[in-house]
C-alpha cells in the first residue's frame, strides 16, 4: 500500500519568508529519510531542508527564487505505508527562545586589549570553524564578520563586537568552538564602552539548525552599522569576502578541495556560489599559467560616470552571458591566438546536400551544411591530431585524444551556448543531422544538462545563417583550436582559362600558438578546404 504525503517547511525561526536558493530534487526522484530537498538562505545564513520520509516525489510545489515560511507546502511524495510519518504535515519542533541578561562577547583585559569571544550559538557543544575572514594586523569595524561557523545544516558568521585592530588570532579553520571561547584579541579603536551582544538561551534540550538560522538573521536585523560597499576590482578585500554566499554542502565541497570561497565568483541566485562555480574555479587555477606580480599586470579599465553625458539604463547581464563572458575572457588572456583564413569551394557539396535534403526530411531531419563541415573537420583532425589535443597541467605535454567530440556554438535567447556532439567520427550524415537538430532545440529551450556541455575536443562557430565573412573566433579552452564559418556566397573563380561561378565558404581557424605553429595551422586549414570541396573524400 502506498499513500501521498505532503512535505512542508519546518520551523525556520520567527521569520515570515526565507528564499529558496536551490531545489536539490526533481519530480520522479527517489528520496531517503533526511535527504536534503531544498536549500533556504537569508542574508547571513543558509540551511538545507531534509525530507522527513522515504519515497518518490510526485509533485514539486516550489522553485528557485520562491520565498517560503513555516508550514508552506514543498512537495508531495508517494511513500509506502511502512515509511509514512504519522502526520502528513511534517514540522520540526520550534525551540523556545527566552531572553536573559546580556553577556558581553568582548571582554576588556587589564592591558587595554579586548578579548572577542563566541556568543551564544544555541545549545551546541561544539561548532566547526569553516572560514577565518581576518588576519593579524587587519583593521575591523564593529559588526564586521570575522569567522564563519557551520553545523550539519546551516552556516553563520560571527561578527566583531568592537572596531579596532586584530592583534592575535586564537582559532583556525577546522577547529571547533563553543560559547565563550576566545576567537581573537583586538586593540579597540577608541575608548568607547565595550559593545555587548545580546545572548539568547535555547530552552529546548537540543537546538535545531533553524535556531542558528534565526539567530544569524536576528543579528543582522539588530545591527545598526551599515554594510561596507563592495570595493571594485578588489576580489580579496574584506568586503568581497563577506559577499561569499554558499550553502553548507557547497562550503563543505570547497573545503575538501582547499578552495577559499571568497575568491570564487557566484553564478547562482543573488551571486550565490554553486558547486559548478567551485569546480570551474579549480579548473581555471589548474590551467592558468603563473601570473606576473610586478608591473606587467593588466591595468583596470577606468570607471566612467556615463550619466554625466546623458540618460542611461543599467540592464543586468543574463546568467549564461556572465558565465560565458568570464570563460571567454580567461581564454583570450591565457591563449596566444593565431587565426588562419581561407575560402572553400562548396559548390558540389551544396548540390549534393540539396539532392538529398528531401530524403532527409522524410526521415525527420534537416540536412544542413554544418553536418558536412563537422565530418570534414574530423577527417582533418585525424590527419593533424595536434589540433584535437590539450596541453597538460604543467604545459609540458600534449594530451592526445582518440575521440572526436565537436562543440557547436548555438545562439539562444539567453546567450551563446556550446553543446557537444559526441563521437562524430562514428556517425553518418543523417544521424548527425538529427542529433544536431535535437541538441540545438534543447539549447534554445534552456534544457541542456551539464553533460551536454562537456567533453569537447574541437569547436565550430557558424555565423553563416546571420551573415558576415571572416572573423576571429576565441579558442574554447582546454581545446586548442576552433573553426569559424562565415556566410557562403557565389563569386567568380579563375580556373586557368576563364572565370566560373563558384559557391565559396569563408573559413577562420583560430588556434593556440603554443601547440600549433603557422605551418601546421595552414596545412590543417588547406586540408579542411580540400575535404569540403569534395565531401566524398571524408569516406576514404
Give backbone dihedrals phi and psi of 80, rounded to 5 degrees, phi first.
-75, 155
Query: The C-alpha cell of 216 is what?
Result: 544569524
By residue count, the chain amounts to 540
Helix 275-287 × helix 319-334 angle, to 10°: 10
Q: Are 150 and 248 in contact (CB under 8 A)?
A: yes
The catalytic position among 327, 329, 488, 513 is: 513
Q: Are 504 and 344 in contact (CB under 8 A)?
A: yes
Query: The C-alpha cell of 403 is what?
Result: 575521440
* 3-class DSSP assignment, residue 152: coil
Task: Pick left, alpha or beta for residue 321 (phi over 0 → left; psi -120 to 50 → alpha; otherwise beta).
Answer: alpha
Query: What are the residues whose beta carbons fall under 8 Å from the beta carbon of 457, sequence distance 6 or more?
Result: 381, 388, 401, 403, 404, 405, 406, 479
Tell me if residue 513 is catalytic. yes
Pairing of strands 458-462, 406-408: parallel
* 3-class DSSP assignment, residue 241: helix
- The closest alpha carbon to 417, from 336, 287, 338, 318, belongs to 318
Give the helix/strand (H/E) hosting 532.
Answer: helix 518-533
Query: What are the residues whose beta carbons fall under 8 Å from the beta carbon of 142, sequence distance 6 or more?
Result: 159, 160, 161, 162, 163, 195, 225
Q: HSE on the CB side for 380, CA within 13 Å?
A: 27
Can you tell me the distance from the alpha carbon of 218 to that of 236, in angstroms, rounded to the nearest whole number? 27
Q: DSSP H helical segments within 149-235, as ranges?
A: 209-222
Please confirm whether the linkage preceding 478 is cis (ω < 30° from 0): yes
In order, the DSSP letters of 291-302 are PP-STTSPPPPP
Active-site residues: which are they? 513
Amino acid at each position: 500500500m502506498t499513500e501521498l504525503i505532503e512535505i512542508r517547511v519546518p520551523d525556520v525561526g520567527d521569520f515570515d519568508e526565507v528564499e529558496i536558493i536551490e531545489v536539490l530534487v526533481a519530480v520522479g526522484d527517489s528520496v531517503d529519510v533526511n535527504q536534503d530537498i531544498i536549500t533556504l538562505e537569508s542574508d547571513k545564513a543558509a540551511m538545507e531542508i531534509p525530507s522527513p520520509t522515504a519515497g518518490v516525489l510526485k509533485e514539486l510545489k516550489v522553485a528557485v527564487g520562491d520565498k517560503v515560511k513555516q508550514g508552506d507546502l514543498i512537495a508531495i511524495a508517494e511513500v509506502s505505508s511502512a515509511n509514512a510519518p504519522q502526520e502528513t504535515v511534517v514540522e520540526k519542533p520550534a525551540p523556545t527562545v527566552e531572553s536573559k541578561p546580556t553577556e558581553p562577547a568582548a571582554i576588556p583585559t587589564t592591558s587595554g586589549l579586548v578579548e572577542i569571544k563566541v556568543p551564544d550559538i544555541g545549545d551546541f557543544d561544539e561548532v566547526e570553524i569553516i572560514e577565518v575572514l581576518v588576519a593579524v594586523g587587519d583593521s575591523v569595524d564593529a559588526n564586521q564578520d570575522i569567522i564563519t561557523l557551520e553545523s550539519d545544516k546551516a552556516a553563520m558568521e560571527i561578527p566583531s563586537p568592537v572596531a579596532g585592530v586584530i592583534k592575535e588570532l586564537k582559532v583556525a579553520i577546522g577547529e571547533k568552538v563553543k560559547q565563550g571561547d576566545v576567537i581573537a584579541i583586538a586593540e579597540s579603536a577608541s575608548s568607547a564602552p565595550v559593545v555587548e551582544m545580546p545572548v539568547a538561551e535555547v530552552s529546548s534540550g537540543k537546538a535545531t539548525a533553524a535556531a542558528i538560522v534565526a539567530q544569524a538573521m536576528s543579528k543582522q536585523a539588530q545591527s545598526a552599522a551599515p554594510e561596507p560597499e563592495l570595493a571594485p576590482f578588489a576580489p580579496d578585500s574584506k568586503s568581497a569576502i563577506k559577499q561569499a554566499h554558499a550553502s553548507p554542502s557547497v562550503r563543505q565541497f570547497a573545503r575538501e578541495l582547499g578552495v577559499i570561497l571568497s575568491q570564487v565568483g557566484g553564478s547562482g541566485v543573488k551571486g550565490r556560489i554553486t558547486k559548478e562555480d567551485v569546480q570551474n574555479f579549480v579548473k581555471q587555477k589548474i590551467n592558468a599559467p603563473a601570473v606576473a606580480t610586478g608591473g606587467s599586470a593588466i591595468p583596470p579599465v577606468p570607471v566612467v560616470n556615463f550619466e554625466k553625458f546623458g540618460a542611461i539604463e543599467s540592464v543586468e547581464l543574463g546568467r549564461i552571458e556572465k558565465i560565458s563572458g568570464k570563460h571567454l575572457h580567461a581564454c583570450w588572456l591565457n591563449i596566444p591566438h593565431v587565426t588562419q583564413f581561407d575560402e572553400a569551394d562548396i559548390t558540389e557539396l551544396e548540390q549534393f546536400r540539396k539532392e538529398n535534403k528531401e530524403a532527409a526530411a522524410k526521415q525527420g531531419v534537416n540536412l544542413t551544411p554544418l553536418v558536412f563541415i563537422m565530418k570534414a573537420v574530423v577527417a582533418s583532425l585525424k590527419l593533424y591530431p595536434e589540433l584535437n589535443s590539450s596541453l597538460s597541467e604543467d604545459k609540458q605535454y600534449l594530451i592526445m585524444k582518440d575521440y572526436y567530440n565537436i562543440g557547436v556554438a548555438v545562439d539562444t535567447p539567453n546567450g551563446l551556448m556550446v553543446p557537444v556532439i559526441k563521437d562524430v567520427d562514428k556517425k553518418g550524415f543523417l544521424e548527425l543531422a538529427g542529433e544536431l537538430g535535437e541538441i540545438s532545440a534543447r539549447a534554445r529551450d534552456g534544457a541542456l544538462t551539464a553533460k551536454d556541455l562537456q567533453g569537447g575536443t574541437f569547436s565550430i562557430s557558424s555565423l553563416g545563417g546571420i551573415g558576415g565573412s571572416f572573423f576571429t573566433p576565441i579558442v574554447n579552452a582546454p581545446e586548442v583550436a576552433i573553426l569559424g564559418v562565415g556566410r557562403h556566397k557565389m563569386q567568380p573563380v579563375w580556373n586557368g582559362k576563364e572565370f566560373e561561378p563558384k559557391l565559396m565558404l569563408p573559413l577562420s581557424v583560430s588556434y593556440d600558438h603554443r601547440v600549433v605553429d603557422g605551418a601546421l595551422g595552414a596545412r590543417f586549414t588547406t586540408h579542411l578546404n580540400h575535404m569540403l570541396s569534395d565531401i566524398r573524400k571524408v569516406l576514404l
